A and B are shown apart, each in its own frame.
Chain A
C-alpha cells in the first residue's frame, strides 16, 4: 500500500503553440495539505482539470491512489471531493437538498447519505439554514454550502480551487479551520490559491508554479531558505547622508538598501544581529528616526525572487 495519493509524471498540455503545462511533475503524500501556488495563468487550474480527467493532455501520466486516472475511473472519482472557486449549487434546491443531491452522486444508500449530509451541514455550521434557498444566504454561508457539497461524501482526497475568493475574514478563517479539520480526520488536501498568507497558514507542503512549470517545491521553511533574503529591516527616516547609507550598505550580511518616500529598507542575507547593527549605525551618526520594524521573508518574497514577479499580480 503506497502512501502517495497523487503522482503526476512529465505532464505536458499544449493549446496550439501555448504550453500550459511544461513537463510538470508532482507527488502528494497521504495526509498532506498541499498548496499549489501561482498567479493566474500559471497552470494551476489546468493541472487540476488534468488531474480530474476533465481535460485531455498531450503527454505524461497521472496516478491517484496508485491507479491510473482516466475519465471513466469512477472508483477513483468516488474518493475525490472538489470545491471550486465558483459556488456550484442549485438555486432551486434548499441547503439540505443541494448537499443531498451532490452527496447522492456518490452514495446511493439513503440512510448512509442522510448521515453524511447531516454531518456535512454540522461541519460547515449551516444547521440553522437547512431549509434556506441559496439566494437567501450571505456570500460566506454560500461558500460554506459549496464546501459542504464537495465533502459530504467523505472523500479521501479533497481539491480546493481558491475557495476563499471574495469571502469575508470571519468566513475565511472558518473555512481554513475546516480544511485543517478535514485533514486531521484523514483527508489529503490539494489547495490552490494565490493568497500566500492562506497557503502559508495551512499548507504542509507547497509547490510554486509559473508558466506551467514547477518553480519550487517544499515546506514553507524550505522554500524560504531557497532565497537570498532572510530579513528585511524597515526604518522610517526623513533623510540619510550618503556616508551613512554607505556605512549601512557595507555592513556584513546586508546585500541591498533602498531609501524611498522616507523609508529606508535594508535587505539582509543570513546573520543573527542585523537589526541591532543597523540601529547602531544610525545612533552613532546621531540620526533621528521614527518607527522601526523587521520582517521575515514571505512566500511572496520567495515567489518574487524565484520567478522575478509578484505572486499576487491582481487583487481579487
Chain B
C-alpha cells in the first residue's frame, strides 16, 4: 500500500485548509441549530399580574388562586400612579381589580362589571387576561346554571380549565416530519458546499499531485501494476470522502440530539450519494491536471455556482424557470430536491426521492466514464507521441 500511504501523507498536508472550511460550516450549523431549536419549542408564557381584591370573599380568593396557577402574582401598592409606573416599566403586565360584589354577582350568574383593570393599551396581556377571566366566569356561570352551588361551580370550572393540551410546534409551512425537521434539513442542504469544497480541495489536489506528469512517468517505469496503482488511489479517495461524510453525519447527530430515525435516513443516504458524486467530479477535474490556483478557482465556481443556482443558498421556490432549467443539469439540484421532499417543503413521495438518487448516481457514472475517456486520451501512446512530435517539430 505504498501509493496509499504516500497519498495519505499528501492528504495530511492539505487538511488544514479543509479543517478551516469544516469548522466554519460546523460552527454556523451549530449556531443555526440552537436558534432553530428555540423557535420550535412551545412554552406557555406566565404574565406578571397584580390583583387588588376589593370583594375579599372566598370566591374572589379562589379566582386569585386560579390566576396564580398560570401566572406570577405580584404585589404592589394600590395607588394609581404606582400601578401605572409599574405597568410602564414592565414590573407588572396587568393590574386586575376584583370589584366589590364579585361573589354575589357570580352566584347570581351575572358576569358584567365583575372586574376593573389597569393595563397598557394594545398589549397582548389584555387579550390574554380578558380571555382567561371570561373563560373562568362563563364556566362558573354554566355550572351554576346546571344547578351546582357556587363552591361546586368554582371547583368544577377550575378543574375544567386546568385541562391542558400538549402542544407541539408543527410548522406546516416548513415541513412536518418529526425526525427530519426543516432546520435539520438545512444542515444537510448546506452540506453541498462543504462537500464540494472539501472534496475538491483534497481529493482533486491529491490526485493531481499523485498523477503529476513526471511522478507518473517514474511510477509507470516502476514494477507496480497499473491496476494496483489505480486501486490504491481509488481506495484512498473513497476513504477520505467517507471519513469526511462520517464526520458530517456524526455532527448531524450532535445537532439533532438523537440518532437518525424515520425519513432522516433518506437524507443520510442522499448525502452519501452526493458525497460520491462530488468525489467523481473531483476525479474528473483532476484528470485535466489543473494548477493549484486554477483548481481553487474551479472549486469556488463549482461550489458557489451549484449552491446559488441549485437551491442551497436561495430556495428553489424563488428561483426562476431559466435558472432551474440550468440547475437540472447539476447533481446538487437533485440532491436539494430530494432533501426538500424528505423535509416536506416539497410534496413528499418516495418514488420522487428515489428518482433524485438515481439521477445523482447517473451523474456519478457519467463523471467516471468521462474521467476514463480523458485519461485514456491523455496517457495513450498517441498523446505521448504528440508531445514528442511537438518537440521534434520545434527543432
Residue positions of A touching B, CB distance < 8 A:
13, 15-16, 18, 20, 39-41, 45-46, 49, 52, 54-56, 72, 74-75, 77-78, 80, 82, 84, 86-93, 97, 101-102, 104-106, 149-150, 313
Chain B contact residues, majority secondary structure: helix
B224 contacts the other chain (CB 8 A)? yes
Q: How far is the CA of A86 from the CA of B215 in the complex (A)?
A: 10
Within 8 A of A (CB), among B1-22: 2-3, 5-6, 9-10, 13
Q: 10 closest Cβ contacts across the A-B interface?
A: A41-B395, A88-B214, A104-B2, A105-B222, A15-B389, A74-B223, A56-B381, A78-B223, A77-B223, A41-B392
Residues of B near A72 (CB, < 8 A) are 225
Q: How far is the CB of A316 from chain B (nearest CB, A)?
A: 14
Q: How far is the CA of A39 from the CA of B394 in the complex (A)?
A: 12
Residues of B near A78 (CB, < 8 A) are 223
Instruction: Find A105's partner among B2, B384, B389 (CB 8 Å cutoff).
Output: B2
17 contacts between A and B (CB under 8 A): A15-B388, A45-B388, A45-B391, A54-B221, A74-B223, A82-B221, A84-B217, A86-B214, A87-B214, A88-B217, A90-B209, A97-B9, A101-B6, A102-B222, A105-B219, A105-B222, A105-B223
Known: A93-B6, A93-B10, A106-B223. A88 touches B215 (CB 8 A): yes
- Chain A, Cβ-Cβ closest to B205: A92
Residues of A near B388 (CB, < 8 A) are 15, 20, 45-46, 49, 55
Q: Is the CB of A40 within 8 A of B217?
A: no
- Chain B, Cβ-Cβ closest to A133: B13
Within 8 A of A (CB), among B316-375: none
Known: A87-B214, A97-B9. A54 touches B392 (CB 8 A): no
B220 contacts the other chain (CB 8 A)? yes
Q: Is the CB of A106 within 8 A of B222?
A: yes
B393 contacts the other chain (CB 8 A)? yes
Q: Is the CB of A54 within 8 A of B218?
A: no
Residues of A near B10 (CB, < 8 A) are 90, 92-93
Given A15-B386, A15-B388: 17 more A-B contacts, CB < 8 Å: A18-B393, A49-B388, A55-B381, A55-B384, A56-B381, A74-B225, A77-B222, A84-B214, A87-B214, A88-B218, A90-B10, A92-B10, A101-B2, A104-B2, A105-B219, A105-B224, A313-B395
- Chain A, Cβ-Cβ closest to B221: A82
Q: Is the CB of A54 within 8 A of B209?
A: no
Q: How far is the CB of A41 from chain B (nearest CB, A)?
A: 3
B385 contacts the other chain (CB 8 A)? yes
Residues of B near A55 (CB, < 8 A) are 381, 384-385, 388
Q: How far is the CB of B21 from chain A (nearest CB, A)?
A: 19
Q: How far is the CB of A245 from chain B (nearest CB, A)?
A: 38
Chain B contributes a number of interface residues (CB within 8 A of A) equal to: 31
Q: How far is the CA of A15 from the CA of B390 in the complex (A)?
A: 10
Q: How far is the CA of A89 from the CA of B394 in the complex (A)?
A: 28
Residues of B near A87 (CB, < 8 A) are 214
Q: Is the CB of A20 within 8 A of B389?
A: yes
Q: How far is the CA of A14 from the CA of B224 in the complex (A)?
A: 28
Residues of B near A13 (CB, < 8 A) are 385
Q: Is the CB of B221 within 8 A of A93?
A: no
Count chain A CB atoms within 10 A of each CB in B6, B10, B221 and give the residue with the most. Answer: B221
Residues of A near B2 (CB, < 8 A) are 101, 104-105
Count chain A CB atoms within 10 A of each CB in B3, B215, B218, B388 and give the residue with the most. Answer: B218
Q: Is the CB of A90 within 8 A of B215?
A: yes
Residues of A near B218 (CB, < 8 A) are 82, 84, 88, 102, 149-150
- Chain A, Cβ-Cβ closest to B212: A88
Known: A55-B381, A77-B222, A105-B219. A92 touches B389 (CB 8 A): no
Residues of A near B222 (CB, < 8 A) are 77, 102, 105-106
Known: A41-B395, A97-B9, A104-B2. A52 touches B221 (CB 8 A): yes
Q: How far is the CA of A313 from the CA of B395 in the complex (A)?
A: 9
Q: Is the CB of B13 within 8 A of A41?
A: no
Residues of B near A93 (CB, < 8 A) are 6, 9-10
- Chain A, Cβ-Cβ closest to B222: A105
Q: How far is the CB of B209 from chain A (nearest CB, A)?
A: 7
Q: How far is the CA of A88 from the CA of B219 in the complex (A)?
A: 10
Known: A93-B9, A102-B222. A20 touches B215 (CB 8 A): no
- Chain B, Cβ-Cβ closest to A313: B395
Residues of B near A86 (CB, < 8 A) are 214
Q: How far is the CA of A93 from the CA of B9 in the complex (A)?
A: 7
Q: How far is the CA of A15 from the CA of B223 in the complex (A)?
A: 28
Q: How far is the CB of B383 from chain A (nearest CB, A)?
A: 10
Within 8 A of A (CB), among B200-234: 209, 212, 214-215, 217-225
Q: How far is the CA of A234 from the CA of B298 in the complex (A)?
A: 62
Q: How far is the CA of A256 from the CA of B224 in the complex (A)?
A: 57
- Chain A, Cβ-Cβ closest to B386: A15
Q: How far is the CA of A134 from the CA of B222 in the complex (A)?
A: 21
Known: A15-B388, A97-B9. A54 touches B223 (CB 8 A): no
Q: Is the CB of B6 within 8 A of A49?
A: no
Q: How far is the CB of A192 from chain B (nearest CB, A)?
A: 14
Residues of A near B385 (CB, < 8 A) are 13, 15, 20, 55
Residues of A near B6 (CB, < 8 A) are 90, 93, 97, 101
Q: Is the CB of A80 within 8 A of B395?
A: no
Residues of B near A40 (CB, < 8 A) are 391, 395
Q: How far is the CB of A302 from chain B (nearest CB, A)?
A: 20
Residues of A near B392 (CB, < 8 A) are 15, 18, 20, 41
Q: How far is the CB of B166 from chain A (nearest CB, A)?
A: 58
Q: How far is the CB of B212 from chain A (nearest CB, A)?
A: 8
Residues of A near B393 (CB, < 8 A) are 18
- Chain B, Cβ-Cβ closest to A78: B223
Residues of A near B394 (CB, < 8 A) are 41
- Chain B, Cβ-Cβ closest to A76: B223
Q: Is the CB of A54 within 8 A of B217?
A: yes
- Chain B, Cβ-Cβ closest to A86: B214
